[in-house]
Structure 1
Amino acid sequence: GFVREHFFGKDPATKDLVADLTDDQIWNLKRGGHDYRKVYAAYKAATEFKGKPTVILAKTVKGYGLGPHFEGRNATHQMKKLTLDDLKEFRDYLRIPVSDARLEEDPYSPPYYHPGEDAPEIAYLLERRRVLGGAVPERRPDHQAIELPEAKTFDVAKRGTGKQQAATTMAFVRLLKDLLRDKKFGHRVVPIVPDESRTFGMDAFFPTAKIYNPGGQNYLSVDRDLVLAYKESAQGQLIHPGINEAGAVAAFTAAGTAYATHGVPLIP
């Protein structure tokens, strides 16, 4: 009677809802957070509601389905293995066709279950994986050919500055700008700046290459009146993680291995 008293019994109206149910029936009621139809309906309502934030309160039981030694126990995180009885109850709950004998062979190493290659669940999983680009992790050595920049792209860098001294940062940014302009090669270049960009003079990239933001620019930048103001776009080419060197290294790694993971050679 614990659930009847402490959950439904706090209000006469809710107590009346379960007046005709036994304690066992109440105990076996499925919580809303474990009812996939209700969860789906809640998310559907949340995505369709416009104008205000939506909160979904989903009541769940920690360790749900793992048996009485795990369900709702504060010690769940310290418990590493199921007992044989827990394992059998878990199997029954999920309706996995594995016999008691197979579980009893080694309770700490239960067998894997495969429903068969023609099972609808397997077909669904394989189809989703195919849509996502194949099995992971996988690095493909073959990729599309790259057409290198035309020789004239390097003309300015090769010409030098004569007797006039030039900062190496300025020379590098100029070369990078020329590479970005190359019609056959420029779209593969991924500038990554873990800082404000202007120290290097890379603000010249903002109007043309733009800063990548999957949601586009949804604010007015403080430098909007400048010629080289911040410009963000879902089609942006410049990765700007902010003062975040670790994020820049992660972006560099992702772009540098894109040839193997996505079949698209990029130059970070």
Structure 2
Amino acid sequence: MSILTLDNVSKSYGTGSQKVDVLSNINLEVKDGEFLAIVGFSGSGKTTLMQMLAGLIMPDSGEITFKGEKITGPSAERGMIFQNYSLLPWLSVYDNVALSVNSVYKEKSKVIKDRIIRESVEMVNLTPAINKKPKELSGGMRQRVSVARALAVDPELLLMDEPLSALDALTRGNLQDEILNIWSKNKRTAILITNDVDEGILMADRIIPLDPGPNATFGPEFVIDIERPRDKTEMNHDPKFKEIRNDIIEYLMQIGEGRKSDLTEEFILPEIQPIVKGNTLKKVA
């Protein structure tokens, strides 16, 4: 059963000669409990797509429905983890998570809200740092806070916009495992934006490329029928992993080459020879 549906969704920015068609005719159905990964090139419109799913911006045409209802704005049912940490620097780990909990669970008692906050912080293994400010935390720890904040309100749909891209390889791998462990406990629906094909295969049930824009749209889907839980080391020796990985990378390379061939405008640079005079460079006609 589909929990999320996108029906002929398009989005552009600007008007007139400045108009840029970012996404065009996006169609998608996501099943309840599915982990979906979307991969693509930078500038293809992945973040725009996620912002529409979160209800932060609206499509120009088409419709996005969640549990059968049209998305018209943000909702606690759809939690989002951003690429940057988006933490308030003057608040502690506890208080940053509390912002989310207090805004959603207004009617709950302080005791219950305190328990939810502490359990969420414990979920991402940050209890020893619960009273620290963001400046006292590493990049990986800050991203864990943003994960805890999103999960504290138990969203039915978890949206992740390249949340691990700025982290070092070891921290990224550890957070991948943590997110998967948390997801496996309640099997909430999850959508991950990533530029890392291996990350998508490790975490997702299905990968869909977003073809380059303008007028970006979805390419063919790739089903990741590799048994869970998945071990990164063992997967490297799995013929099925290698086959899926090669198929996705080959497709991305093909559309990447097609994108280059579309750039037909030829730029001719003027012949310029630098003449050093003092600390300045002058153009010679």
Q: For this structure pair, what is the TM-score category when the shorter chain's length is used for normalisation?
A: under 0.3
Q: Which structure has more RCO (C-alpha within 8 Å, separation ≥ 6)?
A: 2
The structure with more strand, counted as a fraction of residues: 2
For normalisation by structure 1, the TM-score amounts to 0.24
Larger Rg: 1
For normalisation by structure 2, the TM-score amounts to 0.23
